[in-house]
């Protein structure tokens, strides 16, 4: 068994046996890993509280087929301000669940790891409107994982127009002629705003103004798309 040390973010925890935890970690160097933390639920466990959701941790684990075996775990940061607010923790958890669905197992995704870490740090700071920050993060994560939706022109004929329809199962927007009444109507202005969110860094996501209606529509579009591409 290979002994590995890395940093990671806790995406999921599940109770196992009488006192163990199965922890899904998104690690910096080794990607998404599932590992068992023996006796982590005992009151006197040295790993007690370390593997709370969204915590950034330093871990040592034995690499095994199936479940890795956690040997050590220590807290790097727990994002207490983020977790003290229901809205921010809900956004962070939903983003973590999205990554858990989209990330392949045991495949390094270091750019995505850095992006998610920055997302949690900016969300913790409270300096950027949380809805726009989440939209920016989701768009960037999809892009880095090879699932960037096509938003700049009609995916079929290449036309540019004032309005499009987003068709989730085809991964992009279509002009009125090519959409044939399918998909979710979306304005050219919103698509330009989403392209801008992709260009700006997460700390600058607030520069792009999105109305509450725009955010609601964007969430609907991205949710449908993520549901289609996730296994």
Report the CATH number that the domain containing residue 57 is assigned in CATH: 2.40.50.140
Which one of 49, 77, 105 terminates a domain? 77
Please state, in angstroms and rounded to a whole number, the distance separating the CA atoms of residues 185 and 183. Answer: 6
Residues in the chain: 231
Q: Say if residues 104 and 130 touch (Cβ distance below 8 Å).
A: no
Output the pTM of the full model: 0.94
Domain co-membership, 141 together with 57: no
pLDDT the model gives residue 231: 65
For residue 1, what pLDDT is reported?
A: 62
| Residue-wise pLDDT tens digits, 157-186 | 999 988 899 999 999 999 999 998 899 999
User: Domains in the chain: how many in total?
Assistant: 2
Can you read off the two tokens belonging to residue 133?
Answer: 């920050």
* CA gap 30, 190 in Å, rounded: 36
pLDDT band at 191 (very low <50, low <70, confident <90, very high): very high
- Both 53 and 161 in a single domain? no
Is 32:24 a contact under the CB 8 Å cutoff? yes
CA distances, 217 to each of 50, 95, 159, 169 (Å): 37, 17, 22, 17
Distances (CA, A) of 127 to 85, 119, 204, 216: 14, 11, 9, 21
Q: Strands 184-187 and 163-167: what pairing? A: antiparallel
| Residue 43's pLDDT band (cuts 50, 70, 90) | confident
Range of the domain at 147: 80-229
Give the span between the Cα atoms of 112 and 140, in whole angstroms.
Answer: 8
How many CB atoms are located within 10 Å of the residue 231 CB?
5
Last residue of a domain, one of 77, 109, 134: 77
Judgement on whether residues 146 and 213 belong to the same structural domain of the protein:
yes
CB 119 within 8 A of CB 202: yes
Q: Once rounded to an integer, what is the mean pLDDT over residues 101-129?
A: 97
State the chain's maximal CA–CA distance in angstroms.
Answer: 65
The answer to whether residue 48 scores a pLDDT higher than 80 is no
Inter-residue contact 4 to 15 (CB < 8 Å): no
Are residues 168 and 55 both part of a single domain? no
Please count the helices (runs of H) and the strands (runs of E) in the chain. 7, 8
In terms of domains, do 135 and 171 share one?
yes
Same domain? For 109 and 172 the reply is yes
Q: Is residue 9 within 8 Å of 116, Cβ to Cβ?
A: yes
Give SS3 for 27.
Answer: strand
pLDDT of residue 46: 81
| CATH number where 93 lies | 1.20.1440.120
Smallest CA-to-CA distance from 2 within 77, 88, 64, 47 is with 64
């Amino acid at each position: 068994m290979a002994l590995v040390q890395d940093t990671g973010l806790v995406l999921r925890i599940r109770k196992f046996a009488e006192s163990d935890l199965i922890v899904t970690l998104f690690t910096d160097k080794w990607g998404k890993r599932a590992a068992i933390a023996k006796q982590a639920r005992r009151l006197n466990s040295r790993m007690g509280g370390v593997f709370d959701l969204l915590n950034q941790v330093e871990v040592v684990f034995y690499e095994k087929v199936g479940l890795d075996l956690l040997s050590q775990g220590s807290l790097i940061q727990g994002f207490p301000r983020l977790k003290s607010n229901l809205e921010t923790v809900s956004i962070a958890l939903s983003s973590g669940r999205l990554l858990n669905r989209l990330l392949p197992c045991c495949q390094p995704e270091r750019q995505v790891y850095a992006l998610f870490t920055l997302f949690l740090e900016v969300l913790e700071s409270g300096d950027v409107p949380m809805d726009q920050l989440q939209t920016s993060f989701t768009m960037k994560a999809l892009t880095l994982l090879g699932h960037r939706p096509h938003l700049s022109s009609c995916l079929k004929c290449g036309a540019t127009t004032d309005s499009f329809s987003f068709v989730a199962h085809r991964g992009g927007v279509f002009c009125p002629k090519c959409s044939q009444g399918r998909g979710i109507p979306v304005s050219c202005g919103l698509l330009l705003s989403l392209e801008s969110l992709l260009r700006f860094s997460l700390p600058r996501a607030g520069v792009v103004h999105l109305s509450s209606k725009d955010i609601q529509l964007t969430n609907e579009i991205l949710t449908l798309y993520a549901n289609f591409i996730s296994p």
